[in-house]
Amino acid sequence: MKYKSVAEVFSQISKSYDRFLHLATVGRIHSWQRELVSMMNPSGNWLDVGTGTAEVLVKIGKDYKGLKVGIDPSFQMLKIAERKCKDCFFLQGIGEALPFKEKSFSNITLSLVFRHLEDKIKFLEEAHRTLQDKGKIGIIDVARFKGTFVLAFLMKTLLKPIGFAIFGKEKWEFFIHSVEESYSVQEIDNMLQLKGFKTEKIKKKLLGLIYIISATKTA
């Protein structure tokens, strides 16, 4: 799905996105994001790609030593983000074309975003370019593994009424597609290694449906 369509979908659901995500993860998204934050470097400029409503940046805290920057293709999401994180900076854009100089950041994070990227390898090249030496990339996302079909099935059945009620048929089917297009942890690790990162930690949640990965720039 092209970024124009992705931005339109997320702009339309921006007001209900946080509520849905809380319901869909039984409130666990907040602990996962805090865990992701704890796996990153303790200081330095921080970029949150596909920041949405800025939940990751909010969880970094006001005492963090470094700039907190969010980028997202959805203008409506960014409007909400600006209200939630007053000490953050936001830009409209995409992960494959980061408008920053080399070695600008100590940390780059993505929360439920990686599978939406049109070109994962191009993004990792951009992340490598804009990260400082020993900079870290952190990812939370839905994993593809033997049980992925179960999640897709639940979204098509038990969760379908909730999804349709909050998002509508077209948007909910977009989310189902994004789950079906997810990657395995091993595939993510291989991509990271290919583009000059060393995976440091891998944590699995919800019986492996969700993964949290942190990796360090090595080359």
**What would the pLDDT profile of 17-32 be if each residue is shown by its tens digit?**
777 777 778 789 999 9
Alpha-carbon gap, residue 56 to 111, rounded angstroms:
7
State the pLDDT at residue 6: 61
- pTM listed for this prediction: 0.85
State the pLDDT at residue 10: 62
Give 178 or 114, the one with higher predicted confidence.
114
State the pLDDT at residue 11: 57
Looking at the chain, the whole-number percentage of residues with pLDDT higher than 70 is 92
* 127 pLDDT tier (thresholds 50, 70, 90): very high
Q: What integer is the mean pLDDT of 200-209?
A: 90
DSSP character at residue 73: S
State the pLDDT at residue 85: 94
* 79 pLDDT tier (thresholds 50, 70, 90): very high
- Spatial strand order of the sheet with 68-72 comes to 89-92, 68-72, 46-49, 105-111, 131-142, 210-217, 197-205
pLDDT exceeds cutoff 60 at 45? yes
Range name among 3-7, 71-75, 134-138, 196-200 with the lowest pLDDT average? 3-7
Q: Which CATH number fits domain 3-143+183-217: 3.40.50.150, 3.90.930.60, 2.170.190.11, 3.40.1410.10?
A: 3.40.50.150
Q: What integer is the mean pLDDT of 184-203?
A: 96
The mean of the pLDDT values for the chain is 89
* 142 pLDDT tier (thresholds 50, 70, 90): confident
For residue 180, the SS3 value is helix
Q: What integer is the mean pLDDT of 68-91?
A: 94
Alpha-carbon gap, residue 219 to 56, rounded angstroms:
27
